[in-house]
């Protein structure tokens, strides 16, 4: 059992007796159907869930963790994905959402999950327990006419994929993902959600790797969705990935080739999507929805050591970290970066003072130190220290397209 500062509640590890109550909590929290509730209940691992019980023994609030590995700097970092977090309607407004979130932190640290992430329904709630925005998740409707000019280079042959190519798609992603900060590793079960093994209702195109028989240089998958009248359908992209630019252009060209019947291509990506480096036009009405996912360093020293840093870069910055919900992170630390490696060592002058959320956003590459300072999330009177902090950090925001 655990308590959380500022919340009058006891957080407990869930048991099998809590499963039905957790599923009901999630159903009401997310407007799920009874069928969806049953699927959720089957997918819950009570060993990765905590609850707060109400006065009558009901599950008043719950959180559940899905473990991943997330790539940063070419290294996979153990990630605890909060999915989902919910509070029964009659128990809201008491801080129970914060309680079942922060109530997981000590266990995550013990498991070696040095970072935690989530897709927030309430940014303020999770910011209050140390999370901060780390990346964007944007649903766009791109005109097919913007993609169709990406003609296939003569050197690239795109062919229709089959169920026999699914395993090669997995391996192709495994080759690409380490180079994408923010990408997560995918288990077979997770893959089944993105690319059904039987390709049910899914269209798959692939580019073979001529130098590696049985392997792929790229792939693209999509399904048909509803269209705005009077058109027949839209193309809903699951993913387009490739190891080289020619294959990527060729795959996008095929995806956008149905414009006469399907003028819209729906795509998930970051705010600054690399696809804009390929297309020759921009539609100001493209964005359909846009949210930010959030990240938290659960074990700051462990997270700094786990990710990769820029090769050839050396520097040191003294930090003073504020963390009310994971006290092992709080205090003065010296950040030392040396040719792709880094560590946090207790001590230093505390020249740069910031909360754990600001440090998390900087660690991920989303916000630079000067940006955090201008927002009032970082305090530093030493201009050289602030410049050094920016100099040793990541240089581009991470990309995460796997909604958990």
Question: What CATH number is given for 139-290 in this structure?
Answer: 3.40.630.30
User: Which CATH architecture group holds 12-113?
Assistant: 3-Layer(aba) Sandwich (3.40)
Of the chain, the percentage scoring pLDDT greater than 90 comes to 89
Q: With 90 as the cut, is the pLDDT of residue 251 above it? A: yes
Contact 364, 397 (CB under 8 A): yes
Report pLDDT for 152.
Answer: 73
Residue whose C-alpha is closest to residue 326's, from 42, 101, 76, 85: 101
* CA separation for the pair 73, 64 (Å, rounded): 27
Q: What is the model's pLDDT at position 35?
A: 83
Flag whether pLDDT at 216 surpasses 70: yes
The mean predicted confidence, pLDDT, of the chain is 95
Handedness of CA 72, 78, 84, 88 (dihedral sign): negative
Residue 391 has a CB neighbour count (10 Å cut-off) of 15
pLDDT reading at 3 higher than 80: no
Q: Which two tokens stand for residue 255?
A: 């995806």
Q: What is the mean pLDDT of residues 289-318?
A: 97
For residue 298, name the pLDDT band (cuts at 50, 70, 90): very high
User: Is residue 1 predicted with pLDDT exceeding 70?
Assistant: no
Would 12-113 and 139-290 be classified into the same CATH topology?
yes
pLDDT in tens, 368-385: 999 999 999 999 999 999
The total of other beta-carbon atoms located within 10 Å of residue 194's CB is 15
Cα separation, 171 vs 216, whole angstroms: 8
Is pLDDT at 290 greater than 80 in this prediction?
Answer: yes
Q: Identify the pLDDT of residue 156.
A: 95
Residue 228 has pLDDT above 90, yes or no: no
pLDDT band for 60, please (50, 70, 90 cuts): very high
CATH architecture under which domain 300-392 falls: 2-Layer Sandwich (3.30)
Domains of the chain by residue range = 12-113, 139-290, 300-392
Helix, strand and coil content of the chain, in percent to the nearest 5, comes to: 30, 30, 35
- Averaged pLDDT for residues 20-42: 88
Query: Is 337 a residue whose pLDDT tops 80?
Result: yes
- 324 band by pLDDT with thresholds 50, 70 and 90: very high
Q: What is the pLDDT of residues 343-354, one digit of tens each?
A: 999 999 999 999
For residue 110, give every residue at least 6 positions away whose Cβ sits within 8 Å of its Cβ, in sequence order, or none.
Answer: none
Residue 383's pLDDT is 96
Tokens of 158: 């795109």
Q: Label residue 154 by pLDDT band (50, 70, 90).
A: confident
**Least reliable range by pLDDT among 38-47, 268-277, 356-365, 380-389:** 38-47
Say if CB 243 and CB 175 are below 8 A apart: yes
pTM reported for the whole predicted model: 0.95
> Facing residues of 257 across strands?
none
**Degrees, nearest 5: CA angle 368-105-44:** 110
Strand order through the sheet with 314-322: 341-346, 331-338, 314-322, 352-355, 378-379
Buried-exposed string 126-145: b where 16+ CB fall within 10 A, e elsewhere: bbbbbbbbbbbbbebbbbbb
- Angstrom distance (rounded) from CA 155 to CA 158: 10
Euclidean distance between CA atoms 126 and 386, whole angstroms: 26
**The predicted structure's pLDDT at residue 43:** 85
Mean per-residue pLDDT, 391-404: 96
CA dihedral sign, ordered 5, 346, 310, 174: negative
Residues listed for the chain: 404
């Amino acid at each position: 059992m655990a308590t959380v500062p500022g919340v009058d509640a006891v957080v407990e590890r869930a048991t099998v007796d809590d499963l039905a109550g957790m599923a009901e909590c999630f159903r009401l929290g997310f407007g799920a159907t009874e069928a969806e509730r049953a699927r959720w209940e089957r997918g819950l691992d009570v060993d990765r869930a905590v609850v707060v019980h109400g006065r009558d023994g009901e599950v008043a609030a719950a959180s559940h963790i899905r473990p991943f590995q997330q790539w940063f700097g070419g290294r996979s970092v153990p990630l605890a994905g909060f999915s989902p977090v919910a509070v029964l309607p009659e128990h809201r407004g008491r801080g129970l959402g914060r309680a079942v979130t922060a109530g997981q932190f000590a266990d995550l640290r013990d498991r070696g999950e040095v970072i935690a992430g989530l897709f927030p329904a309430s940014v303020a709630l999770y910011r209050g327990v140390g999370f901060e925005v780390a990346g964007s998740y944007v649903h766009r409707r791109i005109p097919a006419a913007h993609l169709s000019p990406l003609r296939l280079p003569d050197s690239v042959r795109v062919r229709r994929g089959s169920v026999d190519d699914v395993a090669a798609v997995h391996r192709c992603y495994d080759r690409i993902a380490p180079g994408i900060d923010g990408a997560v590793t995918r288990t077979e079960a997770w893959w089944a959600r993105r690319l059904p093994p039987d390709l049910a209702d899914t269209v798959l195109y692939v580019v073979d790797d001529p130098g590696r028989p049985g392997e792929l240089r790229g792939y693209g998958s999509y399904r048909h969705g509803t269209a705005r009248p009077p058109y027949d359908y839209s193309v809903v992209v699951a993913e387009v990935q490739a190891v080289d630019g020619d294959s990527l252009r060729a795959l996008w060209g095929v995806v956008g080739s149905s414009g006469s019947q399907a003028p819209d291509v729906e795509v998930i990506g970051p705010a600054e999507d690399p696809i804009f480096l390929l297309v020759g036009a921009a539609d100001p009405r493209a964005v359909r929805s846009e949210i930010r996912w959030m990240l938290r360093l659960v074990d700051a020293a462990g997270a700094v050591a786990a990710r990769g840093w820029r090769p050839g870069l050396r520097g040191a910055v003294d930090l003073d970290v504020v963390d009310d919900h994971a006290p092992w992170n709080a205090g003065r630390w010296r950040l030392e970066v040396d040719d792709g490696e880094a560590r946090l060592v207790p001590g230093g002058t505390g020249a740069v003072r910031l909360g754990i959320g600001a440090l998390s956003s900087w660690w991920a590459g989303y916000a630079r130190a000067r940006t955090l300072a201008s927002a009032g999330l970082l305090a530093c009177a030493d201009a050289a220290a602030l410049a050094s902090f920016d100099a040793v950090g990541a240089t581009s925001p991470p990309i995460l397209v796997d909604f958990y």
